[in-house]
Amino acid sequence: MLKINQLSTGIIKNAHLHLKPAECIAITGPSGSGKTTLLNAITGYTDYRGSISIDQAKVDTQPSWQRACRYLNQRLYLFPHRTVAGNLALAQQGNKQTVNSAQQIALLEQLNIGHLADHYPHQLSGGEQQRVALARALISKPKLLLLDEPFSSLDWDNRTRLWQVIQQLRTETGVSILLVTHEPREADALSDRQISILDGRLIH
């Protein structure tokens, strides 16, 4: 599904990684080791040498917004003057797969926030805002979801609830996940296997 071969950046050295469909790999390691750099290379925000492909399509041949992946971190970037439904609609711009209002509501219901479709971000709790950001990432039906410590600012209760949501969505949609985390319990709860980055090298 995701294949990385001989990837090198300013930090990462000759990395290899293969992520299977519906698999979740947790990337761990100390700060500054290259975890976020790895995700940025996949999304197109970091220059690199080597090869990265998603479903056999090389990512450097596509604009970042056309790649079959979506990125989510703890900075939600919700549009404050748009409702929850409006934020989802904006996320679909430029996407070949059209999603109607009923499908938007179905996704929000799946995340237990269907009743908030007409609310604005400032009217939501931190956990609800995070679910909206997750819905926005999923609305275009990506094959790969990149999670860069998206739940680290949440309290433990909201965090564990979102773990359950992620696992359910992975089962139902078959989305593959690359998760960056400092939290061992999060890695254990969500991932099928774990890879560490140390001094720019992936340790399988």
- Per-residue pLDDT tens digits for 19-45: 999 999 999 999 989 999 999 999 988
Has this prediction a pTM greater than 0.85? yes
Please state the length of the chain.
Answer: 204
Q: How much is the average pLDDT of 78-92? A: 92
Contacts of residue 150, defined as CB under 8 A and 6 or more positions apart, other chains included, come to 72, 73, 74, 130, 133, 134
Quickly count: other Cβ atoms within 10 Å of residue 113's Cβ.
21
Contact 145, 134 (CB under 8 A): no
Mean predicted lDDT score pLDDT of the chain = 90
Token pair in block for residue 191: 């991932």
**176 HSE (CA, 13 A, CB side):** 17
Predicted confidence at residue 155, as pLDDT, reads 87
Domains of the chain: 2-203 (3.40.50.300)
DSSP string spanning 47-58? --EEEEEETTEE
User: Could you report the per-residue pLDDT of 168-198, keeping only the tens digit for each?
Assistant: 889 988 999 999 999 999 999 999 999 999 9
Contacts of residue 56, defined as CB under 8 A and 6 or more positions apart, other chains included, come to none
